[in-house]
Each structure stands twice: as C-alpha cells, then as structure tokens.
Amino acid sequence: MIIRKEQQSDHEAIKSVVTDAFGQPDEAHLVDMLRTDGDIEIALVAELDRQVVGHIVLSRMISPETALGLAPISVLPTFQRQGVGSALMREGIKRAQDNSWERIFLLGEPAYYNRFGFAAETAAGFSSPYAGPYFMALELAENFPDESGGVAEYASAFSRLGADET
Ligand SMILES: CC(C)(COP(=O)(O)OP(=O)(O)OC[C@H]1O[C@@H](n2cnc3c(N)ncnc32)[C@H](O)[C@@H]1OP(=O)(O)O)[C@@H](O)C(=O)NCCC(=O)NCCS
C-alpha cells in the first residue's frame, strides 16, 4: 500500500471513495468545498494496486489558527478493517507534526480514534458546539501548544454543509 499526497487526477476516484465510504454524497461535497476554499493543508490517498481505496483530509481551522481539523477520513467498504484507515491516520498525523501544526481536532468514535492518541479531555478546554465525548483532540507534543483553551471552529465549509462528522 502506498500513502501519498492527492493529485488533481485523483479527484474523481476520491469522490467515489468518500461517497461509498459514507453511503451518501455529503462528505464528498465537503471535500470539494474545502478544496475550493483553499483550506486543505493535508490530503492523502491510500493506493493499492494503483487503485485509490482510501482518503484523508486535514484542513486549517478558523480557530485556533495553529490547529487542523481532521475530516473526513474514508476507506472503500470492501477495503475496511485491513489497516488502510490506520495508515492514513498515522501519515496524516506525522505530516501535521512535520509541518509544525500544534493540534488536531476531530469528531468521531472514541473507540477508533483513542488508539491514535486523540482524547476528549484534550479538547475539553475548547468551546465548540460539538463539545462532548465525540469531540477529541491530539496535541502534537514536540510543538508545545501555547494555547490550551478558546474557541475551536472548523473551516467555513463545515458550517456551510452543516455536517462536521468525520
Ligand atoms: C473509519 C474508517 C476510516 C476506518 O478505516 P479502516 O481501514 O476500516 O480502519 P483500520 O483497518 O485501520 O482499523 C480497523 C479497526 O477500527 C475499528 N473501527 C473502524 N471503524 C470504526 C468505528 N466507526 N467505530 C469504532 N471502531 C471502528 C475496527 O473495529 C477495527 O478495530 P480492530 O483493529 O480492533 O479490529 C472506515 O471504516 C470508514 O471509511 N468508515 C466509513 C466512513 C466513516 O465512518 N468515517 C469516520 C467515522 S468516525
């Protein structure tokens, strides 16, 4: 499996992967809006035998400015539970860290994201309409975040779509 940066030539395949993973078009629409707005900082595909089977997006947040929002992450249903999502998560986190981002926020299932170090406690100091057990954050340790509270606000595409779930 190869994890690499998405290319323009991947856009159609990505649309299919995201739509099939979620079983609806909303998240693929979110990816399009984030791209059009120029808010995507990291977008990776997982490729197996030259087929795009997974995709992850990390976008810059309105607040804190030093944080990324991770959403959506998608793996084609027939390729799920084979480690594709984990490989995308690990590489996405690594690239965020390499690029000196201080934190990553996401909204999702704790049972899945805890294994990568995301915790609701880490997000608890930030106010958000999504605050609660599913709203989690990861501090990228080497970057020593200088803010530990305030408002956590995703890129504007999320509120325009009205769907911030990963
Ligand atoms: C969530 C998703 C990206 C995970 O990708 P994946 O390639 O299947 O994940 P991996 O193979 O790396 O990991 C599989 C593990 O995650 C667990 N897992 C997968 N999705 C989960 C979920 N929504 N909640 C809890 N655990 C989940 C599996 O049980 C499995 O656990 P195990 O290793 O203990 O058996 C993928 O299932 C997907 O695209 N789902 C549909 C879209 C979606 O719901 N995205 C995010 C929602 S939070």
Task: Return the domain boundaries, the chain.
Answer: 2-157
* Nearest protein CA to atom 5 of ligand 1, as residue: 85
pLDDT tens track for 23-47: 999 999 999 999 999 999 999 999 9
Q: Can you name the CATH fold of 2-157?
A: Aminopeptidase (3.40.630)
* Nearest protein CA to atom 16 of ligand 1, as residue: 112
Rounded distance from Cα 111 to ligand 1 centre (Å): 9
119 close to 148: Cβ distance less than 8 angstroms? no
Query: Who's near 35: CB < 8 A, 6+ residues apart?
Result: 43
- 97 SS3 class: helix
> Which pLDDT band holds residue 166 (cuts at 50, 70, 90)?
low
The predicted structure's pLDDT at residue 68: 98
Rounded distance from Cα 147 to ligand 1 centre (Å): 31
Give the predicted TM-score (pTM) of the model.
0.93
pLDDT at 88 over 80: yes
pLDDT at 163 over 70: no
> Which pLDDT band holds residue 49 (cuts at 50, 70, 90)?
very high
Residue 114 identity:
N
Rounded distance from Cα 84 to ligand 1 centre (Å): 9
